[in-house]
Structure 1
Amino acid sequence: MALFFGHKNKVPENKQVQEIELDQIVPNRYQPRRTFNEESIAELAQTLKEQGLLQPIIVRKDSSEPEKYEIIAGERRYRAAQSLKWAKIPAIVEEMDDEKVASLALIENLQREDLNPIDEAQAYLELMKVNDLTQTELAKQVGKTQSYVANKIRLLRLTPKVQSFLVSKKISQRHGRALLSLSSEDQDRAVSEIVKKGLTVKETELMASDVDGYFADLEKQETKQDKPKQPKKKTVIKTGSDFKVQVNTIKQAIKMARESGLEVKYKEDKEKDSYKITIELLRK
């Protein structure tokens, strides 16, 4: 089936804008966006405060709660109005089945550039499901290549921890794809290392190619750094009784030389910080 990329949320001529209580409105169950930028909502709220709502939101009757209206398009405008404590919001009530509602909600978000890669991947997956499309068929209808759609959807195989770093932009999609071959446990410890050390995509690919070896080497390096350094041995300068022993040894050698028949003269010079012995051997 053809998707609704031409939809611009224009007010149909046969549709009347109604003022609906915000308390009667519920978010779109098919909303692919899991996180909303609070700063962006605040900026939109300021615009609404100054200029009013230029384009009404689109809703439908909630099949499960007859008194409620489900948002088809315009959830950011609805959230901005909530932040301003509006009691009512201009809206158009459409009759639309689940398949069309899901498609419109997904496509509206895909057309916004700030959709994060995980929400975008979820949107593609939902579009394929509700419209019974293959990746190739979906890619053709959204104007993307099949490989582009496939690479986005593959990101959903990452662990929640890795996905959260992708959403917060602490790692890139290329970092994420480099981790796809790893187990869940290895993905989590690898992404912590990437964020901690600011690893490049190339460094991440090298780590992923031998993740056990990488962390084994890292552990060795950390163990080596943690090992206390051995203090250098100090040169021991002998003084006191050790010095006297050396002097007596020299004098003993002189005595033995004399007993052997040599004529030996020696002279001692004692200073405050030194001791000098001059030995002279004489021929007979």
Structure 2
Amino acid sequence: MAFSLFGIGKDHSGDTKNKVVEIKVDQIIPNRYQPRKVFDQDAIRKLAQTIDEHGLLQPIVVREYESAKYEIIAGERRYRAVKLLNWDTVPAIVEKMSDKETASLALIENLQRSQLSSVEEAQAYRQLMDLNHLTQAALAKGMGKSQSFVANKLRLLKLIKPVQTAILDHRISERHGRAMLDLDEKQQREMLMRVVNERLTVRQTEDEVARTLGRPLPSELAKQRAEKKRQELADLEGMPAEEPTTEETVESSKQAQPKKKKTSKRRKKSATSKQSAKATDARLALNTIKKSIKLATDNGFTITTHEKDDDDTYQLVIEIPKKQ
């Protein structure tokens, strides 16, 4: 198994490297730098059932940190599953790695393959930066993320431990935590109790944080923006048709015409006005979509767009890679 990020795992040699060997389970310990703090026991039991039925298809990866003692580099879920099955030995690949490499590799392996919580992910990024003396930009490049994405994750570490733990335990969401970032420690504790006990939504939490800090309520600001948008659309719908621009046109409009014809002209003008409003509405819709795309890219997503404007339609093709 090769790991190339940050040069980890390169130029190591040894007789057992990349060879699968059987190692006693009681000689193996979990990785001390494992970023995952909470393991889903139901998922481990299901994995154990699969391994019991089909065998262990992928060996775990370990290193020998002392004579006949091994530390897991990759595969702790598989290790926990075979322990549930009471296996005496487990297939493993032995790698020669330093403490720093072992720690970095465990963090990278989990970031790439596991669904870590947002706090665990932030902690893993911080540890990788500290271990390898990396800047946010260098880490983001190595992990294939945007710098803003990494920076937003790291901000979660500014939350007090009880709030971080609540996110880890899924008692509150990452967005609840982000809403509390501007509060001091005491305020965070009080807000956490309210969120959990009163089961506040994210928007309610944002409003309560704003009240605490003496700021405008996000819900009220959202209503104002929505009302402004509705008013803009209403104004567009009510725009008058263009007035006549020549004396002859004005004069002819004054001449008596059959009511039926006048009604037809008015209807035509009204239709023209509505078509203009609809065209403007289409541009507003396009701009709204573009703002949503910008919001997503600002939060670390890689998105590619292709835009085309022809006579009848706006075409906007959005490409979002599944692996971000």
Distance 1:113 1:86, change over 3 A: closer
Distance 1:5 1:198, change over 3 A: farther
Which stretches in structure 2 are left out of the alignment for 5+ residues? Answer: 216-324
CA offset digits 1:231-253 (Å, max 9, x no partner): xxxxxxxxxxxxxxxxxxxxxxx
Q: In structure 2, how many angstroms separate the alpha carbons of the residues matched to 1:6 and 1:61?
A: 14
Deviation at 1:4, TM superposition (A): 6.5
Q: In structure 2, how many angstroms separate the alpha carbons of the residues matched to 1:47 and 1:4?
A: 34
Deviation at 1:77, TM superposition (A): 0.6
Residue 28 of structure 2 corresponds to which residue in structure 1? 25
CA offset digits 1:87-135 (Å, max 9, x no partner): 1101111111222212211111111352111111111011111111101
Task: Note if contact 1:26-1:71 (Cα within 8 Å) is conserved in structure 2.
Answer: yes
CA offset digits 1:38-88 (Å, max 9, x no partner): 1111111011100111111111111xx433101111111101011111111
Matched, 1:58 2:61: yes
- Give the structure with higher Rg (CA): 1
Amino acid in structure 2 at the alignment position of 1:21 = K
Q: In structure 2, how many angstroms separate the alpha carbons of the residues matched to 1:110 and 1:86?
A: 28
SS in 1 for 2:6: coil
Amino acid in structure 1 at the alignment position of 2:149 = Y
Task: Note if contact 1:60-1:72 (Cα within 8 Å) is conserved in structure 2.
Answer: yes
Amino acid in structure 2 at the alignment position of 1:35 = V
Residue 124 of structure 2 corresponds to which residue in structure 1? 123
Task: Note if contact 2:35-2:124 (Cα within 8 Å) is conserved in structure 1.
Answer: yes
Residue 173 of structure 1 corresponds to which residue in structure 2? 174
Residue 102 of structure 1 corresponds to which residue in structure 2? 103
Find runs of 4+ consecutive structure 1 residues off by over 4 angstroms: 4-7
Task: Note if contact 1:5-1:107 (Cα within 8 Å) is conserved in structure 2.
Answer: no
Matches within 5 A, 1:1-284: 2-3=5-6, 15-62=18-65, 65-211=66-212
Deviation at 1:203, TM superposition (A): 2.2
Task: Note if contact 1:4-1:107 (Cα within 8 Å) is conserved in structure 2.
Answer: no
Task: Note if contact 2:62-2:94 (Cα within 8 Å) is conserved in structure 1.
Answer: yes
Residue 307 of structure 2 corresponds to which residue in structure 1? none
Deviation at 1:195, TM superposition (A): 2.2
Deviation at 1:166, TM superposition (A): 1.0
Amino acid in structure 2 at the alignment position of 1:125 = R
Q: In structure 1, how many angstroms separate the alpha carbons of the residues matched to 2:193 and 2:99?
A: 40
| Greater fraction of residues in helix | 2
SS in 2 for 1:23: helix
Q: In structure 2, how many angstroms separate the alpha carbons of the residues matched to 1:31 and 1:128?
A: 15
Residue 264 of structure 1 corresponds to which residue in structure 2? none
Distance 1:14 1:100, change over 3 A: closer
Which stretches in structure 1 are left out of the alignment for 5+ residues? Answer: 215-284
Q: In structure 1, how many angstroms separate the alpha carbons of the residues matched to 2:74 and 2:45?
A: 19
Amino acid in structure 2 at the alignment position of 1:28 = N
Q: In structure 1, how many angstroms separate the alpha carbons of the residues matched to 2:20 and 2:123?
A: 32
Task: Note if contact 2:9-2:97 (Cα within 8 Å) is conserved in structure 1.
Answer: no
Distance 1:140 1:6, change over 3 A: farther
Distance 1:84 1:150, change over 3 A: same
Deviation at 1:140, TM superposition (A): 1.2
Query: Between Structure 1 and Structure 2, how many residues are aligned?
Result: 208
Q: Identity of aligned pairs, percent?
A: 52
CA offset digits 1:164-196 (Å, max 9, x no partner): 221222322121111111122211110121122
Amino acid in structure 2 at the alignment position of 1:27 = P
Task: Note if contact 2:17-2:96 (Cα within 8 Å) is conserved in structure 1.
Answer: no
Amino acid in structure 2 at the alignment position of 1:181 = D
Task: Give the TM-score, by structure 1 length.
Answer: 0.67
